[in-house]
Structure formats: structure tokens, C-alpha cells
């Protein structure tokens, strides 16, 4: 069976790419010759590295920090940039409201019905000041939780930064949640204010949000006020004394920016666990500001003349990252409501060309959907300098399609893997370094990443657990009101080691691969295999548009592979099983079931654990992030056939 990698280097950086790199420029100033040397020095001397990065990236602390790192509470509970004050609203908006960036476009919104709205940095700052005063007038105080249940309209950026301005804690949530899922987050965070919209659209169809919000608030007694953005202009019910329209808020007296300490909470971003209630991931002003600046500035090479676009949602970490990292660097962000293939297969590239996008975020799932659309998804994108890919492991055929058909082999795909819990990335494909297809070529600056075997030893050339051996700004400050669950989730397997939950490998050249989530791993013929490896082999069959592979119990072999394949239009399933065996090899070939769709989260990740539960007739657990357009019922329940 083919490995999930290429045999030769796919990306070789040009002199232009290397010459533009702000990380290479910083390294020259620091007298460091390579990324590996940089990370060795950064890990050994975090006091030096993080001070140097903060100065180089112009991350503006209102008062300077005494020390970079304080681990007096233990390694799992570090404090960063102690003694300093910093507020994300200042560094992302207010400081750009005067000077060369004032009239520069800060935020672009693109709706799936063709709507487009923009804010300059000056306008963004003015609206953040105004809405912060409005929130204060509604009784919001420092430390209160403010939940955002909104589409990615400009008002969402304003609301996020206005809450930060006050020192309140933002709780961004998915725009497609059902009432129970939203209520759980309102209850767990003990939110006092909910900001929502009358509705949004998905595939051109209206989705009621205020109705969902009302039902959720009925189950959340701590919510005192609801602010509603008129987005679709639809008729909705408003509760007197509780609800108010965003555009009808009075002119309240201005309030100063809160002098939030570096480790004060900025946001709680909920992520679903395998079992139990969602985990509230806590991020702070200082840690999240520094992490997003480093990742966007050094890994993605974002400068203030860049336009960064991503199809995302507030409930996925990319939403808060986008509203923090590029904006503090003075770059423009483009936020897209809807899907890359609606109203047509070229929609994403239309947005890129209309806005002069230079850095485009894309998930492998989105790329597979575009590839499945055929020639209709092809386009020239002359302004693009790089793709940034995150969300899940690539399959090789789709990676090559994006690299060749869209990028013309001239646009690097910056592979990026980390998660909500670490505020961004752990490993990345630096655009100024060579890379294999679908691979990563180094750890993020200041991150001591490793692959560990079952005994906790570092391994090269083997699949093992992705781990972090140090700490870095951006890692969560535990779970909201649940320190023990946090320790049990990430710190319990090996002493003082963060085990991330991803299956990874790194070879002797320093090329990394992600093979899927650890709990999605299969063990076939005595070998540990990630689902992406088998999925890549199956996608050689041109009839298959996308596929998900799971492992299920087998009395004779311990475990066997099962695949669920969505076929392209006109694809016949007649010899699907035969081709799967040819492409994956007899030892690894799964039993293949054709299906109409694969259940995915609202941000496009395939829900393999839910697929496995459905197939085996088990409880699927928390399904609040399921996209209703991809029902779990599309997966058959195992009936005992071979």
C-alpha cells in the first residue's frame, strides 16, 4: 500500500519566497542559521526567544513584562509575560486607527448571496469603542462571559474585540448549533450576554438563528440580555426588556480599554470531547496574541500588505485566530459565509480574485469538494502567494490537485497542524523550506515537538504520538473550571509531557506527517495505521470523491478496516471492492460501503468516531457540531455481513 507521502520533494522555494520571509530576516538578525538551530536555542532559552519575537513582530504590551515564563504552579500551568498588561482590542484595532493603516481595509465580509461589506482599521476601532460602551451600558463587566452566536459578518469582529476591550471573556460558538448545544455552552460559561443575528444562510437557504437563540436562552438563566444583528432582515420575535437590536443601541458614554494582565482570560473556545460535556479551552490576551502573531507572521509569512482569507466559523479556532493574528500585523482579513462550492464551484476563486487575496486558508475537505467539481472549479489566481491547510490530514491525490491545477506548482501549500488547545500550530510546512507533498518541514518557533512510542521514547521513521516536550504561549490555561479533566486529557500519559492526541511520524530529513487522530488509529496485520494512509490509496480510484476509513473489531484478526465512499456523479460501484484491494493491498484493504455523504462538522472535518459508533450501533456521543446537511444516518448500521 502506498504511504501518505511523495517519493521526492514536491515544493522547492524560490529566491523570491526566501527573500520575502520575515522569519529568515529575523534569524539573520539573531545570528541563527537554520530553523532547527532556532528551535534548539528557543527551547533552551525561552526568555531570549520570546522577548526577541515580541520585539521583532511589534507585539505591543501596554506595560512591559517582568519575565517571559513562570512555571511555579507546575509545568502544565505556566504563566506567560508576567507583570505585563496587554489587550487584544488595542493591538488588533485601536493602535491601527491612526497612522499609515487607518484608512486601510481591515475586514472584508463575503456572503454566499453575493453580499460584500468592509471596515477600515479606523472604522473598526470606532465601532469597537462604540460597542464596548454599549456592552458596558448593558451591564457587562470585566470577567463576564459574552457568547457570540453569529455568522462571520463584520459585527462579529466588532463584538469579539469590544468584549476584549472591556476585559470580558468572549465565548465564540458555531453558527449552526441547535438549541441544546448552544444552551450547554451558555450554561457552562455562565454567560450574561448573548450576541446573535436574525439568521444566516447555508447553500442559499435561510437558517434561523434568533429562534435557536431564544430556545437556548430559555435553558440558560444567567443570560440577562440578547443583542441581535439584522443580517437577513427577516421578521423575528423580540423579548421586551431582554432583546435589543445591534443598530438600535444608544450612544453610551465611552469606556477605557481594560488594563488586562497578560494571563487574564480573553476567550473560552469549546471543543467537543469523546465523552462528557464540551471542553472549554481558555486562552489569554498575552498568550493568544503572541501565538497568533508568531504563527501568521513567521509560519505563514504574513506582512501588512497581505490579504488573508479563510472560510471559517466563529466556533472553530480559526475564527478567533483570524480576528487576532493578521489584524495585529496590519493585514486585511476576508471572512466568508457559506461554502467554497456555493453558489458555484468557482466561488472561492472569485472571492480570491475580487479581493486580491494573497494567503488562502483551505481544509483538505474543501479541496476534495472542489476537485470533485471538475473543470468548473479551475481558475487562475494570480495574487495568491500561499495556501494554508489545516483541519485534518491530506490525501495525496487531492494535495497534488490543489498544488498543480490551482497553484500551478508556484504556490506553496503551508501545511499546519495543532489545535484549539494550543492556540494554533505545533508543526508547519514553512514556505521558505523544501517539503514533500502533504508534509510538514518543522515545528513552529519555540515548540519542542516530538513523536513518541508507547514507552514515551522519541522515535524517527515510526508512527507514534505527537507530543510537546516544553510549553509555549498559546497553550490553554486549562479547561474552564475543570483543571483535573485538563490534566487527565493532555498530561497524564507521560510525566511533564503534553500528548496531543494526533498520530504522527517524522523522518530523518525532518519531514513530518500527520496520520489522523490517535483514537482513530487502526492496527492491521500487526501494524499501526492512520486512516489517512488507507484513504489516500482508495482515492486512486477516480470514481471516489471522498472516503472515510474506520477500524472495527474482528474476532479473527482483532481489527479490520471499513471504508465509506462517496462516489462522483456517474460512478458505478460494480467493482469498487476489487479496486480497493488492488490499491490498498490485501492486508490493508477495507470493506467498502458506497454512501451518499459523510457526516462532517460544520467546519468540514469528517466525524470518524461518530461514523464508527453509527456503524456499530453505539452511542455517537456529542453531535452538536454535526452539519445537518451531512446526516449521520447516511452511514449504514452493521448487519453482520462480511
Report the CATH number that the domain containing residue 167 is assigned in CATH: 3.40.50.980
* Domain harbouring 373, CATH code: 3.40.50.12780
Q: Are residues 429 and 458 in the same domain?
A: yes
Q: How far apart are CA 188 and CA 182, in angstroms?
A: 10
Highest mean pLDDT among 174-178, 296-300, 605-609: 296-300
Angle between helices 35-44 and 22-29 (to 10 degrees): 60
d(CA 87, CA 168): 11
C-alpha grid cell for residue 458?
522519541
Strand partners, 270: 280
| Domain termination residue (choose one: 488, 516, 544) | 516
Over residues 586-603, the mean pLDDT reads 86
Cα atoms in the 13 Å half-sphere on the side-chain side of 52: 20
Of 222 and 274, the structure prediction assigns the larger pLDDT to 222
Specify whether the CB–CB gap between 312 and 318 falls below 8 A: yes
Does a structural domain hold residue 4?
no
pLDDT band at 161; cut points 50, 70, 90: very high
pLDDT at 638: 87
Q: What is the mean pLDDT of residues 23-42?
A: 97
- Write down the pLDDT at residue 276: 59
| pLDDT surpassing 80 at residue 110 | yes
Which residues have CB under 8 Å from 47's CB, separation 6+? 67, 68, 69
Whether 93 is in a domain gets the answer no
**Residue 4 confidence (pLDDT):** 45
Distance CA 369, CA 383 (A): 22
Query: Does 256 fall in a domain?
Result: no
Contact 399, 412 (CB under 8 A): no
Q: Report if residue 255 sits inside a domain.
A: no
Distance (Å, whole) CA 157 – CA 142? 19
Residues 504 and 528 in one domain: no
CA 399/CA 127 separation, integer angstroms: 40
Instruction: Answer yes or no: do 280 and 428 share one domain.
Output: yes
Mean pLDDT of the chain: 92
**Quick check: is 445 in a domain?**
yes
CATH number of domain containing 612: 3.30.300.30
Residue 596 to residue 566: CA distance in whole angstroms = 6
Last residue of a domain, one of 206, 221, 248: 248
Query: CA-based diameter of the chain, in Å?
Result: 73
- Residue 563 near residue 538 (C-beta atoms within 8 A): yes
Domain extent, residue 309, equals 9-86+263-516
Asked whether residue 380 carries a pLDDT value surpassing 50, the answer given is yes
Q: Please indicate, yes or no, whether residues 50 and 120 belong to a single structural domain of this protein.
A: no
Residue 427 and residue 451 in one domain? yes
Q: Assess whether 104 and 59 both reside in one domain.
A: no
- With CA atoms as reference, report the closest residue to 387 among 366, 364, 354, 412: 412
**398 and 460 both lie in a single domain:** yes
What does the DSSP assignment read for 154-203?
HHHHHHHHHHHHHT-EEEE--TT--HHHHHHHHHHHT-SEEEEESEEEET
Q: Is the pLDDT of residue 456 over 50?
A: yes
At 642 the pLDDT is 46
Taking the model in full, what pTM does it have? Answer: 0.88
C-alpha cell at position 117:
461589506
Residue 529 clears pLDDT 80, i.e. is over it: no
Instruction: Quote the Cα angle for 621-528-459, to 5°.
Output: 115
What cell numbers appear for 405 in the block? 491545477
Residue 549 has pLDDT above 70, yes or no: yes
SS3 label, residue 457: coil
For residue 399, pLDDT over 70 is answered with: yes
- Computed on alpha carbons and rounded to an integer, the radius of gyration of the chain in Å comes to 24
**Grid coordinates representing 385?**
502567494
The angle formed by the CA atoms of residues 446, 449 and 451, to the nearest 5 degrees, is: 175
The whole-number pLDDT of residue 94 equals 98
Residue-wise pLDDT tens digits, 321-364: 999 999 999 999 999 998 888 999 999 999 999 999 999 999 88
- Are 363 and 390 within 8 A, CB to CB? yes
User: CA dist 269 to 212, 334, 516, Å?
Assistant: 20, 21, 22
pLDDT per position as a tens digit, 125-141 = 999 999 999 999 999 99
> What is the separation, in whole angstroms, between the first and last Cα of the chain?
22
Query: How much is the pLDDT for 534?
Result: 86
Statement to judge: residues 66 and 187 lie in one domain: no
Residue with cell 476585559: 167
> Which of these ranges, 1-10, 21-30, 99-108, 198-207, has the smallest mean pLDDT?
1-10
Using CA atoms, how far apart are residues 136 and 166, in angstroms rounded to an integer?
8
Residues 74-78: what's their mean pLDDT? 97
Residue 23 lies in a domain: yes
CA 481, CA 187: separation in Å to the nearest integer? 12
Higher pLDDT, 32 or 604: 32
CA–CA separation, 306 and 330 (whole Å): 8
Measured between alpha carbons, how far is 86 from 64 in angstroms, rounded to an integer? Answer: 9
- When pLDDT is cut at 50, 70 and 90, the band that residue 575 belongs to is confident
The string of pLDDT tens digits covering residues 189-198 is 999 999 999 9
CA proximity to 413, closest of 351, 357, 359, 334: 359
pLDDT digits (tens, 9 = 90+) for 231-285: 999 999 999 999 999 999 999 999 999 999 999 999 999 987 545 578 999 999 9
> Are residues 415 and 281 located together in one domain of the fold?
yes
pLDDT band per the 50, 70, 90 thresholds, residue 603: low
Q: How is residue 612 written as a grid cell? A: 464508527
Split at pLDDT 50, 70, 90, the class of 204 is confident
Q: Give how many domains the chain has, as a whole number.
A: 3
Residues 507 and 528 in one domain: no
Q: Is residue 539 part of a domain?
A: yes
* Same-domain status, 552 and 429: no
585 burial via Cβ count (<10 Å: 0-12, 13-18, 19+) = middle
Mean pLDDT of 35-57: 98
Contact 506, 451 (CB under 8 A): yes
What is d(CA 54, CA 373) in angstroms, rounded to the nearest whole number?
Answer: 44
Given a cut of 90, is residue 3 above it in pLDDT? Answer: no
Phi, psi of 111 (to 5 degrees): -95, 160
Report phi then psi at 420, rounded to 5: -55, -40
**One domain, residues 453 and 356:** yes
The grid cell for 613 is: 459508533
Amino acid 554: pLDDT: 77
Task: Answer positive or negative: Cα dihedral of 485, 491, 496, 498.
Answer: negative
DSSP track, 264-286: SEEEEEEE--SSSSPEEEEEEHH
Q: Residue 440 and residue 143: Cα distance in Å, rounded?
A: 38
Q: What is the Cα–Cα distance from 178 to 369, expressed in whole angstroms?
A: 25
Q: How much is the pLDDT for 556?
A: 64
Nearest Cα neighbor of 159 from 131, 126, 118, 138 is 131
Task: Give CA separation, 214 vs 183, 201, 232, 237, in Å.
Answer: 10, 18, 17, 9
Percent of the chain topping pLDDT 90: 75
Residue-level pLDDT at 528: 67
Rounded CA gap, 244 and 205, in Å? 25
Per-residue pLDDT band at 641 (split at 50, 70, 90):
low
CA dist., res. 149 & res. 173, Å (int): 5
Q: Using 50, 70 and 90 to split pLDDT, how confident is the model at 2?
A: very low
Mean local confidence (pLDDT), 21-48: 98
Is the preceding omega at residue 479 within 30 degrees of 0, hence cis? no
Looking at the domain assignment, is residue 94 inside a domain? no
- For residue 474, the model assigns a pLDDT of 97
On whether the CB atoms of residues 199 and 209 are closer than 8 A, the answer is yes
Name the domain boundary from 487, 516, 545. Answer: 516
Amino acid at each position: 500500500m502506498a504511504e501518505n507521502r511523495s517519493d521526492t520533494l514536491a515544493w522547492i522555494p524560490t529566491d523570491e519566497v526566501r527573500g520575502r520571509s520575515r522569519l529568515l530576516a529575523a534569524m539573520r538578525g539573531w545570528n541563527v542559521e537554520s530553523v532547527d538551530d532556532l528551535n534548539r536555542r528557543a527551547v533552551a532559552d525561552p526568555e531570549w526567544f520570546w522577548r526577541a519575537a515580541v520585539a521583532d513582530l511589534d507585539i505591543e504590551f501596554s506595560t512591559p513584562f517582568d519575565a517571559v515564563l513562570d512555571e511555579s504552579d507546575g509545568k502544565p500551568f505556566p504563566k506567560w509575560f508576567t507583570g505585563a498588561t496587554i489587550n487584544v482590542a488595542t493591538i488588533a484595532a485601536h493602535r491601527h486607527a491612526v497612522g499609515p493603516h487607518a484608512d486601510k481595509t481591515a475586514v472584508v465580509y463575503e456572503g454566499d448571496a453575493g453580499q460584500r461589506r468592509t471596515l477600515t482599521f479606523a472604522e473598526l476601532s470606532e465601532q469597537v469603542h462604540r460597542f464596548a460602551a454599549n456592552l458596558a451600558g448593558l451591564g457587562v463587566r470585566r470577567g463576564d462571559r459574552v457568547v457570540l452566536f453569529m455568522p462571520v459578518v463584520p459585527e462579529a469582529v466588532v463584538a469579539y474585540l469590544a468584549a476584549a476591550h472591556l476585559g470580558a471573556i468572549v465565548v465564540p460558538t458555531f453558527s449552526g448549533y441547535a438549541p441544546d448545544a448552544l444552551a450547554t455552552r451558555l450554561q457552562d460559561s455562565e454567560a450574561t450576554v448573548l450576541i446573535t443575528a436574525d439568521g444566516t444562510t447555508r447553500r442559499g437557504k435561510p437558517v434561523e438563528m434568533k429562534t435557536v437563540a431564544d430556545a437556548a436562552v430559555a435553558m440558560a438563566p444567567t443570560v440577562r440580555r440578547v443583542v441581535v444583528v439584522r443580517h437577513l432582515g427577516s421578521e423575528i420575535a423580540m423579548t421586551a426588556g431582554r432583546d435589543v437590536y445591534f443598530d438600535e443601541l444608544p450612544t453610551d458614554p465611552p469606556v477605557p480599554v481594560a488594563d488586562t494582565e497578560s494571563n487574564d482570560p480573553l476567550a473560552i473556545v469549546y471543543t467537543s470531547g469523546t465523552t462528557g460535556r464540551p471542553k472549554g479551552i481558555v486562552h489569554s490576551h498575552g498568550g493568544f496574541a503572541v501565538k497568533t502573531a508568531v504563527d501568521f507572521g513567521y509560519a505563514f509569512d504574513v506582512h501588512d500588505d497581505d490579504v488573508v482569507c479563510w472560510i471559517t466559523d466563529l466556533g472553530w479556532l480559526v475564527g478567533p485566530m483570524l480576528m487576532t493574528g493578521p489584524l495585529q500585523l496590519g493585514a486585511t482579513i476576508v471572512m466568508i459565509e457559506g461554502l467554497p462550492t456555493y453558489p458555484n464551484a468557482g466561488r472561492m476563486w472569485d472571492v480570491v480574485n475580487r479581493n486580491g487575496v494573497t494567503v488562502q486558508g483551505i481544509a483538505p475537505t474543501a479541496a476534495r469538494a472542489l476537485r470533485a467539481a471538475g473543470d468548473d472549479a479551475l481558475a487562475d489566481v494570480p495574487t495568491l502567494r500561499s495556501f494554508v491547510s489545516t483541519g485534518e490530514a491530506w490525501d495525496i491525490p487531492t494535495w497534488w490537485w490543489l498544488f498543480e491545477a490551482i497553484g500551478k506548482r508556484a504556490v506553496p501549500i503551508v501545511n499546519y497542524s495543532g489545535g484549539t488547545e494550543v492556540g494554533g500550530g505545533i508543526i508547519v510546512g514553512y514556505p521558505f523550506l523544501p517539503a514533500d507533498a502533504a508534509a510538514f518541514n518543522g515545528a513552529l518557533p519555540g515548540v519542542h515537538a516530538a513523536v513518541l512510542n508507547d514507552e514515551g521514547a522519541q522515535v524517527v521513521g515510526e508512527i507514534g504520538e505527537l507530543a510537546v516536550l516544553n510549553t509555549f504561549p498559546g497553550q490553554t490555561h486549562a479547561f474552564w473550571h475543570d483543571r483535573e479533566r485538563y490534566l487527565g486529557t493532555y498530561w497524564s500519559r507521560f510525566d511533564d509531557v503534553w500528548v496531543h492526541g494526533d498520530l504522527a511520524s517524522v523522518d530523518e530529513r525532518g519531514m513530518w506527517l500527520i496520520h489522523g487522530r490517535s483514537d482513530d488509529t487502526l492496527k492491521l496485520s500487526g501494524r499501526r495505521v492512520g486512516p489517512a494512509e488507507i484513504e489516500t490509496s482508495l482515492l486512486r480510484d477516480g470514481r471516489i470523491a471522498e472516503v472515510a476509513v474506520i477500524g472495527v473489531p474482528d474476532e479473527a484478526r482483532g481489527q479490520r478496516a471499513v471504508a465509506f465512499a462517496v462516489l462522483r456523479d456517474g460512478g458505478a460501484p460494480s467493482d469498487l471492492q476489487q479496486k480497493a484491494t488492488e490499491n490498498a493491498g490485501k492486508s490493508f484493504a477495507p470493506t467498502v460501503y458506497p454512501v451518499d455523504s459523510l457526516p462532517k462538522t460544520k467546519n468540514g472535518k469528517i466525524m470518524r468516531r461518530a461514523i464508527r459508533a453509527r456503524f456499530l450501533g453505539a452511542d455517537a456521543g456529542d453531535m452538536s457540531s454535526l452539519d445537518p446537511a451531512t446526516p449521520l444516518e447516511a452511514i449504514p448500521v452493521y448487519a453482520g455481513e462480511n
